[in-house]
Amino acid sequence: MTFKTRITEMFGIETPIVMGGMTGVGYGELVAAVAEAGALGFITAHMFPSGEALRAEIDKVRRITDKPFGVNLTLLPSINPIPYEEYREAIIASGVRIVETAGRAPTEHLPAFKEAGVQVIHKCTSVRHSVSAVRKGVDVISIDGFECAGHPGEDDVGLVVLLPATVDALPGVPIIASGGMADGRGLVAALALGADAVNMGTRFCATQEAAIHPAVKRKIVENTERDTVLVGRPLRNTARVARNAVSEEVAAIQRNPDSTFDDVKHLMAGARGRDRVYGQGDLDGGIWSSGQSQALIHDIPTCRELVANIMAQAEAARARIDRIAR
């Protein structure tokens, strides 16, 4: 059985499953594998030093698949300038027609994207920010519940409340459910709550094609819902990361109300996590993102196997509901 939603129809994908942009993970090979599996994946633009390098990664995906995929633009302050205009020009010139934005609203990029026929998904962590983003012109909202990896916002609202509240506030707007999504049961639950698709990040990290060390993938499988830590709370820049020696140290330092970013800067460096953890498999080498959905991850399949399994689980869940409803 197929699940047709506004998202599958809008983007021409076979399943209502999305793999959003992930720092250190969203490279072309994984994005192409996700696309070939019938889902929608996003290259993470800010991992590339220039628009030219991003264009080369887009071309790499196109050599592997002719199915739809997109590019993620995460719009955040940075010590080193990020070439967002170059990225935007590369996206448009390459003919990519789907962009996922996160961080601040993509206001300055929307006119050019609209003129080029690019559809924009914006990731939000609250109803009020979702409403504001739609007013500014984004096409789709991806709403992140408190369970998600990375930045869950500061409101601490779980997806089972946040998703239908967002759906109610934005009638007619396609909504993607993110945070805690890892299997077909979650997909059916999200569709029942009004979503048009689900976004899975941590689940796609634990796949054969993800370019991260096998030890990290095995650790995701071993972890439970309790094996994450919130860091950055005193700075109002909360991030959910895997529980390890470094994240525990950061959390301990930040329990001091007088702590500053300088006290933890050396521990929270993103490059440290990507190089030591994702690259070398040193699980205590740095901070690395993981969501509570890791409790639902029990294997490391290919992307094709994963998507097929999720859709089979979704069909079983739908059938169970049909039996109960009779």
| 100-136 pLDDT per residue, tens | 999 999 999 999 999 999 999 999 999 999 999 999 9
Provide the percentage of residues in the chain whose pLDDT is more than 90: 91
**Hey, what domains does the chain have and what are their CATH numbers?**
6-212+297-325 (3.20.20.70), 228-289 (no CATH)
Mean pLDDT of 62-70: 98
| Average pLDDT over the chain, rounded to an integer | 96
Cβ 107 vs Cβ 136: under 8 Å:
yes
Q: Place 316 in a pLDDT band, splitting at 50, 70 and 90.
A: very high
CA triple 241-179-171, angle to 5 deg? 145
pLDDT score recorded for residue 1: 63
Could you tell me which of 208, 200, 202 has the C-alpha nearest to residue 228? 202
| 246-292 pLDDT per residue, tens | 999 999 999 998 899 999 988 988 778 788 999 999 999 999 999 99
Verdict on whether the full-model pTM lies above 0.75 = yes
Residue 148 clears pLDDT 90, i.e. is over it: yes
pLDDT score recorded for residue 79: 67
Mean pLDDT of 144-161: 96
pLDDT score recorded for residue 95: 97
Which of left, alpha, beta for 264 (phi over 0: left; psi -120 to 50: alpha)? alpha
Provide the percentage of residues in the chain whose pLDDT is more than 70: 99
Residue 83 clears pLDDT 90, i.e. is over it: yes
